[in-house]
Structure 1
């Protein structure tokens, strides 16, 4: 039986699955928790020693969500928490990033043993098997993070000493989307914003102006 059991709040999405898979690979018990567990999250997480917290994408009030989760974890007797934030959380023109910045503050003031991970854009968000229609400039630099690397980093900070009180920006490689597309032999086209969500439109506008640059040395050090 695994010596450590981790509740992964938001564990049924692609991020949660990557974390659960990486924990399983190092013989840590992962308990994925989703919306069905919310009626009594504290009871669902009971028996876990630690938690990894992922909020739903573009949540309209992430600080309220994270605050409720932290309350439930404390009620469940959990003392160790890792919060899944975002690279450059304090970016005033991206409201969902600001929600994560406020949530980070809640985590830091929770009196729990916390670590915060700030991932760059996922490589897996780009389909490099066909032409890419991109609603922002393909020539801005990004720190891209592979989901497998994210999972491995989460497993490290949850199972090894020395990471309590740390905040880590994570990226596997730095590139532009055009460089990735060229390497894969596919075309990339800069297209208008489809305006499907105001938060996404704000993000695309920021990306168009600045990209989202994240260094790779922190992840390399974590993974050895």
Structure 2
């Protein structure tokens, strides 16, 4: 596959954990990464100038992700960016979870942008759970998830940004399937299940009411359905095995 020219990649949300990982993966492939944080929004088109592609990560629990995506698309058009790769979420059209619906609407904006696009839909990050630290869980430990390793997601993202052939594609991404209980055991992390209402009165008390409500809805969905994601797309796009639960057990 041929590389995009120029190999200069903007990473919106480049100061967050996902953005930093994607920027590092882009540099590892010999291209220039341009991380863009909040300051870039004073002149986003100017910040994007000279970039052949852009990775788009909205702030976590953004109140209006559709509008965020629209602003990025407009700036990308003005700057002449040839490709957008949107960081979405697995199962974006889940009406019970408002922040997932926000990502579904953002996907629609990007698909209708007139700019070449690719959409990535990762499952829950393995890195959301720290080895050895207690996991306080407001949903059932037996819920099944497709967990995505951040490094695996970043490696796929860099490929989407720098190679042709993925325009118009939407990829769900998971490194392995497991329950939260299995993941906790692999990480050596004690697990404590709590009532979501108790979570709202303690850990969730200081959050913006909208964010707290959205998280409670997410916990309810996870309790009923988990968030299963297939692992074959990640394996295929990486061209190697993704990180596995065994890797965690063996400390790799």
Aligned residue for 2:161? 158
Aligned residue for 2:213? 198
Does residue 129 of structure 1 match 2:144?
Answer: no
Does residue 175 of structure 1 match 2:178?
Answer: yes
Query: Normalising by structure 2, what TM-score?
Result: 0.86
Rounded to whole Å, the distance in 2 between the matches of 1:154 and 1:56 is: 17
Aligned residue for 2:223? 208
**In the comparison of the two structures, how many residue pairs are matched?**
223
- Which segment is superposed worse, 153-162 or 74-83? 153-162
Cα displacement string for residues 21-42 of structure 1 (whole angstroms, at most 9, x for unaligned residues): 1001001111010111111100
8 Å Cα contact 2:8-2:31 kept in structure 1: yes
Rounded to whole Å, the distance in 1 between the matches of 2:194 and 2:47 is: 44
Rounded to whole Å, the distance in 1 between the matches of 2:187 and 2:121 is: 27
**Aligned counterpart in structure 1 of residue 117 of structure 2, from 114, 119, 139:** 114
Structure-2 change in CA distance of 1:75 and 1:3 (3 Å): closer
Cα displacement string for residues 25-84 of structure 1 (whole angstroms, at most 9, x for unaligned residues): 001111010111111100011111110000011111100111011101111111211000
Structure 2 gap segments, 5+ residues each: 205-211, 240-252
Aligned residue for 2:105? 102
Aligned residue for 1:42? 45
Aligned residue for 2:250? none
Rounded to whole Å, the distance in 2 between the matches of 1:95 and 1:175 is: 24
Aligned residue for 1:74? 77
Query: Normalising by structure 1, what TM-score?
Result: 0.97
- Which segment is superposed worse, 122-131 or 79-88? 122-131
